[in-house]
Structure 1
Amino acid sequence: MRSISPPKNLFLRGIYLMTRRYLRHNVGIQSAALAFYLLFTLFPVLIFISALLGLLNLDVAAIIQALRTILPADVLNLVEMYLTYVSSNHSPQLLLFGLFFSIYFPMRATNALMRSVRTAYHLGPPRGVILPRVKALLYTVLLIITIALTLTLMTVGDRVLIYAVEHFHLPAVAAGMWARLRFPVSALVGYFALFFLYALAQDGRQPWRNIWPGTLAALAAWLFISWVYAMYVNNFANYSVLYGSIGTVIVLLIWLNLTAVTLIMGAELNGTLISLRKDGGGASL
């Protein structure tokens, strides 16, 4: 059977190569495995975040409001109930428990995503055993710190700004500007977190142009897909009718799978662009 030749148009050729990569690299299977690890990552991270909220007296409502546009209502209600309950029954022991499992399970998810990134870059299995684990541990710890700082930025910000205006004579204009910039700054933090993961998966140092396009595309696509899926679930779909009490879990699993596909395809986009630049047609898939 004769293979189909790639289109001559550069944009269509890129779409063609991305489709072939999705099929040849088994992105569907890899994303399902990553979504499985993300599911087990979610609840320990929620325990850690909830305990942190309780110890620092952070505002749960502010976090829920920030997530309202990208999470379906069913999932949002589950997260809100969980955060409210655990943060109202906080303890240092619970924080340590959540921190331990917030490192173990995200490390598994990080390893799965790094393997997918290496496949996208045609790097093969990593050399050695210790170095990949160290990279995954380093990234996981930095990710937890990033999440904690981002939550603090979103929740403590209003009270800190009001206090600064009243006691340190911070100009109201500057306070308002910072209040508006908190979420773009959080998005920028998310960009560099994903960029760092793509970079750590490499055997050596990659040029900037081999990492940033897929990182930016993955982050933008994830925000857009999450927003569209949340609107669809909230306004059109009714999973509770089809699946009963497990409807929320079904919604969560679908959202995690969409997230996994987006993260992996960001790396595949970088691999596609490298192929197009390397041979002018992307013959190397």
Structure 2
Amino acid sequence: MKVNIEKIKAKVDYYRQRLESVLRLIIIPGFEGVPLYDVLVYFIRGFTKVNLVDRAAAVAFNVFLALFPMILFLFTLIPYLPLQGVTTNLLEALQEILPPGTYESVANTIKEIMSIEHGGLMSIGLLLAFYFSTSAVSSFFRGFNMGDKEFGQVSFIKEQLYSILVMIMFVALLLLSIVLMTMGQRLLSVFFVKIHFYNDFVIFLINLLRWLIAIFALIVAMSLLYHFGDPRSKKFKLFTPGTLLFTGLFIVGTLLFNFYISNISTYNVLYGSIGGLIIFVMWIYFNCILILVGYELNKSIAKARINDDAKLLRN
């Protein structure tokens, strides 16, 4: 029996070494010349130092508090934009992104907001959105490097200033994306109607354009968040491995999560109307995990590169 265990251990060590040697030969574009094995070592170590689930839970709470004041502010601001159909486009985008069972509650709240006067409400919404949104961004910054003495933390003053700056850029990016989607849809529709070529393929192109704009805006938003949350980042990079990983996981994860809620989960049956709120919180929490995973990949690449540079200097 002892001999068999030793043989099993020997085989495990053999295959582990083979796998390690293969991973050391793989250098993925964007990894700054660092072997995949070195990145994976730091990537896994980052999750074991401080529990990813705990970090995501802390961030998700602040994001949940920030969402509704931000929605309140945005939908009271949208009527002042010199375009028609902006609200409709945004509601359609929300319907496709949000998990089933949650859109109705969010849409009803938004429609109630749009049906009343905006003066005092906009001022209150602005204050609430400003406070909770900056807190949410700050919680991301703290969650990125929590418990990581090697990488450090953004100083408190920088954290607050960066939170305000990132929040302002997020709002500007969101409004710009909405305007581009609305204008693009309208221009394409007018163009194809004039040339008498408006069919299902054109509708597909319009929807594709809308989603390409949304995905690009998401990449820019995550790149900004990762850049300002990294205490060692000096040069802004739009396409980083962490940003692309998050974007891919977000798209696939949202589709799978929506499929699970629609076909498998029984939250609405068990909890009734509050089931939609539970699903919404789960969706936020799930995406906070993905954001932390994307940042952890960028940080792992940076650490592996620093370690390789240190080895070269010693040699």
TM range (shorter): 0.7 to 0.9
Of 46, 49, 66, which residue of structure 2 is paired with 1:21?
Answer: 46
**Shift in alpha-carbon separation, 1:94–1:164, aligned structure 2, 3 A:** farther
Inter-partner Cα distance in structure 1 for 2:208 and 2:238: 32
- Asked whether the equivalents of residues 181 and 209 of structure 2 are also in contact (C-alpha less than 8 Å), the reply is no
For this pair of structures, how many residues does the alignment match? 274
Which amino acid letter does the alignment assign opposite residue 123 of structure 1? F
For structure 1, list consecutive stretches of 5 or more residues without a partner in the other structure: 281-285
Inter-partner Cα distance in structure 2 for 1:151 and 1:179: 13
Inter-partner Cα distance in structure 2 for 1:193 and 1:251: 24
Query: What is the match of residue 93 of structure 2?
Result: 66
Query: What is the match of residue 37 of structure 1?
Result: 62
Which amino acid letter does the alignment assign opposite residue 159 of structure 2? P
Cα deviation, residue 239, structure 1: 0.5
Query: What is the match of residue 176 of structure 2?
Result: 149
- Asked whether the equivalents of residues 191 and 215 of structure 1 are also in contact (C-alpha less than 8 Å), the reply is yes
Inter-partner Cα distance in structure 1 for 2:220 and 2:207: 21
- Asked whether the equivalents of residues 250 and 290 of structure 2 are also in contact (C-alpha less than 8 Å), the reply is yes
- Asked whether the equivalents of residues 222 and 262 of structure 1 are also in contact (C-alpha less than 8 Å), the reply is yes
Cα deviation, residue 95, structure 1: 2.3
Cα deviation, residue 132, structure 1: 2.0
Which amino acid letter does the alignment assign opposite residue 133 of structure 1? Q
Inter-partner Cα distance in structure 1 for 2:237 and 2:166: 21
Which amino acid letter does the alignment assign opposite residue 187 of structure 1? I
Query: What is the match of residue 114 of structure 1?
Result: 141
Inter-partner Cα distance in structure 1 for 2:208 and 2:45: 41
**Shift in alpha-carbon separation, 1:14–1:123, aligned structure 2, 3 A:** closer
- Asked whether the equivalents of residues 22 and 28 of structure 1 are also in contact (C-alpha less than 8 Å), the reply is no
Which amino acid letter does the alignment assign opposite residue 268 of structure 1? E
- Asked whether the equivalents of residues 47 and 98 of structure 1 are also in contact (C-alpha less than 8 Å), the reply is yes
Cα deviation, residue 21, structure 1: 1.7
Residues 1:97 and 2:140 are matched in the alignment: no
Which amino acid letter does the alignment assign opposite residue 255 of structure 2? W
For structure 2, list consecutive stretches of 5 or more residues without a partner in the other structure: 1-12, 24-35, 309-315
Cα deviation, residue 124, structure 1: 1.8
Provide the secondary structure at the position in 1 that maps to 2:172. Answer: helix
Of 107, 110, 124, which residue of structure 2 is paired with 1:80?
Answer: 107
Cα deviation, residue 53, structure 1: 3.5
- Asked whether the equivalents of residues 153 and 231 of structure 2 are also in contact (C-alpha less than 8 Å), the reply is no
